[in-house]
Amino acid sequence: MNFQDLKLVNTRAMLAKALTDGYAVPGYNFNNLEQLQAILAACYETESPVILQVSAGARKYVGTKILMKMVHGALEEIGDPTLQVALHLDHGADFDICKDCIDMGFSSVMIDASDKPFDENVEISRRVAEYAKKYDVSVEAELGALAGIEDDKVAAATHYTNPADVKKFVDLAGVDSLAVSIGTSHGVYKMKNPDGKLRFDILEEITAVLPLFPLVLHGASSVPQNLVDEINKYGGALKDAHGIPEKQLIKARKMNICKINVDSDARLAFTVGVRKTLVEKPEAFDPRIYLGAAREEMKNLFVEKNKTVMGCANHRT
């Protein structure tokens, strides 16, 4: 299956435009129909480009064939050919999963060999980039490693990206974008730097050697306190959850971070919708009631995020 037949685009043009105009394209993860609908509705309403992200866990949960039909169906339902939507594999662990997604019709893949030594990371990323090129699929790689949870693996420590390595890496690997590690982490319990700030000094050094290259920020949920409070109010138990302050994300996207990945915030908003509805409407047992509320909660969050944190509203190309 070819991604163009599914009315998808790769991420090259959308990231190039975001880079020059100083906004970020959202990389939003989804795991079910309601989350997919929420993302597309928010991006349609705000006239934003979007990168729909699928992790290995999402593939396992939904089934890749169903995922593909869901995306295809959702885009047909909207029926607007000007909507800029990429379908992207998030944290592809090896060549085979990337190849599988490219063959299935994904328009973009991430090869994440950031846990491997530099030369091995280059070699795996280069192999994926070469295969992807044949199909015009864009490729993201990662250098440095984030702390936090990813596909059931927990990385305890952050390994910041070494600015001295980035030019050599992208030249040798031939990838289209690069995820960098500057202090963010996955999940809702972010690792804090001693001074509580992202390492903008590292980001500055990276952009100095790669001035026109698209950079990606993973682990960029801001973990809004109002959502955490709502979850706890309606029976949840999220203690000391915290994320990346929005101001820092906005600063980052003005420094060549042109793709910002968010998954945890969507999970929080969705959980608020489910918990609140079930508590407030104890008689409800129709999933459309509580999943519909969750979808609305997530959509509203992303409408706001596109306008403020991403700055991508009204940037449909």
Residue 45 has a CB neighbour count (10 Å cut-off) of 13
Residue 218 beta carbon to Zn ion: minimum distance, rounded to whole angstroms: 3
Stretch that binds ligand G3H, among 39-47, 51-59, 64-72, 171-179 (CB under 6 A): 51-59
10 vs 261, beta carbon nearer ligand 13P: 261
Which pairing describes strands 50-54 and 25-29: parallel, antiparallel, or unpaired?
A: parallel
Crossing angle of the two packed helices 287-305 and 264-280, in degrees rounded to 10: 140
Annotated catalytic residue 171: no
Spatial contact of 148 and 190, defined as CB atoms under 8 Å apart: yes
Stretch that binds ligand G3H, among 54-62, 155-163, 164-172, 305-313 (CB under 6 A): 54-62
Q: Pick from 12, 88, 126, 218 the residue near Zn ion by CB under 5 A.
A: 218
Does 267 help bind Zn ion (rule: CB under 5 A)? Answer: no
Which residue in the list 5, 21, 90, 263 is annotated as catalytic? Answer: 90
Considering CB distances under 5 to 8 angstroms, the limit depending on partner class, which of Zn ion, ligand G3H, ligand 13P, none binds residue 35? none
Q: How remote is the C-alpha of 8 from its chain's centroid?
A: 16
Q: Which residue do the tokens 């690069």 mark?
A: 178
Nearest to 142 by CA among 112, 184, 183, 171: 112
Spatial contact of 123 and 192, defined as CB atoms under 8 Å apart: no
Residue 81, classed as helix, strand or coil, is coil
Q: Pick from 34, 230, 263, 265 the residue near ligand G3H by CB under 6 A.
A: 263
57 vs 236, beta carbon nearer ligand G3H: 57
Note the residues at the interface with ligand 13P (CB under 6 A): 29, 90-91, 186-187, 218-221, 261-265
Spatial contact of 299 and 42, defined as CB atoms under 8 Å apart: yes
d(CA 307, CA 255): 18
Residue 91, classed as helix, strand or coil, is strand
142 vs 316, beta carbon nearer ligand G3H: 142
Spatial contact of 302 and 43, defined as CB atoms under 8 Å apart: yes
Considering CB distances under 5 to 8 angstroms, the limit depending on partner class, which of ligand 13P, Zn ion, ligand G3H, none binds residue 151? ligand G3H
Residue 55 beta carbon to ligand 13P: minimum distance, rounded to whole angstroms: 7
Residues recognised as catalytic? 90
| Footprint on this chain of ligand G3H (rule: CB under 6 A) | 29, 55, 57-58, 90-91, 150-151, 186, 263
| Footprint on this chain of Zn ion (rule: CB under 5 A) | 218, 261
